Structure 1
Amino acid sequence: LFRRRGFNIHSLAVGHSEVPGLSRMTAVIETDEGGARRAQAHLYKIINVVRVEDITGRPVIMRDLALIKVAADQTTRTCLMQLTQVFNARIVDVAPDSLVLEICGSEARIDGLLEVLRPYGVIEMVRAGRIAMERGSGAAEATVSPERAAAVEEGISYSV
């Protein structure tokens, strides 16, 4: 849908939601306000879509996740461990010649860590799509019709 309509997807993440049988998709697209409204309208045409929300300009929490494998020998390991602490990242794997770091945060924070790691030799990197949730006690409520609720109970998955 996004490709056919000419929308540039910056990030896409899909996973389970708090409602059994429903998935939540967070799509970050580069477009203007009119394009966002068109994307929303097109998404509602897909039968599996229960709800679409444009959270632009709302108070939200957004997070990206990255795993970064960086070259690390005995001479650079201590410095890399200090950088890991500065960026509030975690070391999740240690090998004789490398470290794998996990970082969760803003896109800018992850980009910043990558920039300082490049001189050490980034061997491999993978980033998950951005996830978002509105701040406060409210929740993105998925109003599910009785027909869709019955379909969910029968094991048919619908996206939120």
Structure 2
Amino acid sequence: MKHLPSERHTLSILVDNEAGVLARIVGLFSARGYNIESLTVADVSDNHEVSRITLVTNGPPPVIDQIMAQLDRLVPVHKVVDLTDWGPHVEREMALVKVAGVGDKRVEALRLADIFRARPVDTSTASFVFEVSGSTEKVNQFIALMREVGLVEVARTGVVAIARGAEAV
């Protein structure tokens, strides 16, 4: 069998909002050797009974199909959608980026932040904490540029995603 290329897929998983559900899903990935690139979870219902897990993983199409089928069989899972295959969707990620520097480095950090529409959320005479949001690629590029002017630390949310259009998926 020939080697199939790995593809990045964003999965939206609606689950019961109860203890242990996330552990079961992560355990499924761990037990089968699948990697999770990004994972976010949040309550999405008025009555706090349902959460949405947004999970980014990589694999060839047959592996992604297998992941989807295995997730769909878990009891607390209501719905699994591969947003990558479903169609147009919006993905965003947020990061807090701490940058230290004085003089020209400080000015350059502020200039780059302005270009990326990153906003300072904390500042001192020796450092900034910027909040940047957008596509994973945008966040990665901002972080890479900040490395050159004094990157100290990064905290990232992971990807959140939702399908485009009027209907829920």
TM-score scaled by structure 2? 0.77
- The answer as to 2:72 corresponding to 1:44 is yes
Q: Distance in 2 between matches of 1:17 and 1:138?
A: 16
Q: Which residue in the other structure is 1:149 paired with?
A: none
Q: Give the Å deviation of 1:68.
A: 0.5
Deviation of 1:74 after TM superposition, in Å, equals 4.1
- The answer to whether residue 135 in structure 2 is matched with residue 85 in structure 1 is no
Query: 2: CA distance between counterparts of 1:33 and 1:19?
Result: 35
1:96 equivalent in structure 2: 125
Do the aligned partners of residues 47 and 19 (structure 1) sit closer, same or farther apart at CA in structure 2, a change above 3 Å counting? farther
- Percent identity between the two aligned chains: 34
118, 134, 144: which one pairs with 2:147?
118
The one-character-per-residue Cα deviations of 1:24-47 (angstroms, maximum 9, x if unpaired) are 001111012211111111112221
1:84-109 deviations in Å (ceiling 9; x for gaps): 11001111100221100111111111
Q: Secondary structure at the match of 2:77?
A: coil
The equivalent position to 2:42 in structure 1, one of 15, 28, 32, is 15
Query: Which structure 2 segments of 5+ residues have no match?
Result: 1-27
CA RMSD of aligned residues (A): 1.4
- Output aligned runs, 1:64-83, within 5 Å: 64-83=93-112
Deviations 1:31-77 (A, max 9, x none): 12211111111112221111101112410100111110001324432
Unmatched 5+ stretches in structure 1 = 141-160
Cα pair distance change 1:19/1:30, threshold 3 Å:
farther
Residue of structure 2 equivalent to 1:63? 92
TM-score by length of structure 1 reads 0.82
Partner of 2:54: 26
In structure 2, C-alpha distance between the alignment counterparts of 1:36 and 1:112, rounded to whole Å: 27
- Give the distance between the partners of 2:161 and 2:60, measured in 1 at CA: 19
Of structures 1 and 2, the one scoring higher in RCO (CA 8 A, sep 6+) is: 1
Query: Which SS does the other structure have where 1:139 is aligned?
Result: coil
AA in 1 matched with 2:66: R
